[in-house]
């Protein structure tokens, strides 16, 4: 999947100090791509919206 032209945006809960930044991009017909902003050429997770909601809720439940 080619994500070179993806419009990445930082997650609302990412810290503004340059650390722990998660970026998201809409992927038409596939869901949401997720990456680490410190490693933009690194691995990308492709999740459905439901899977992303579950992951975010699970992370929130651990805090």
**Per residue in 39-63, pLDDT tens?**
989 999 999 999 999 988 998 888 6
pTM of the model: 0.77
Contact 27/44 with Cβ under 8 angstroms?
no
pLDDT at residue 27, as a whole number: 92
Residue 59 phi, psi dihedral angles, 5° rounding: -65, -40
For 54, which DSSP code? H
5-34 pLDDT tens trace: 899 998 776 666 666 688 999 998 889 999
Strand partners, 32: 26, 47
């Amino acid at each position: 999947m080619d994500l070179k032209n993806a419009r990445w945006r930082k997650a609302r809960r990412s810290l503004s100090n340059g650390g722990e930044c998660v970026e998201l991009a809409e992927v038409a017909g596939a869901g949401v791509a997720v990456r680490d902003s410190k490693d933009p050429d690194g691995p990308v997770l492709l999740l459905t919206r439901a899977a992303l909601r579950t992951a975010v809720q699970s992370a929130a439940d651990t805090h």
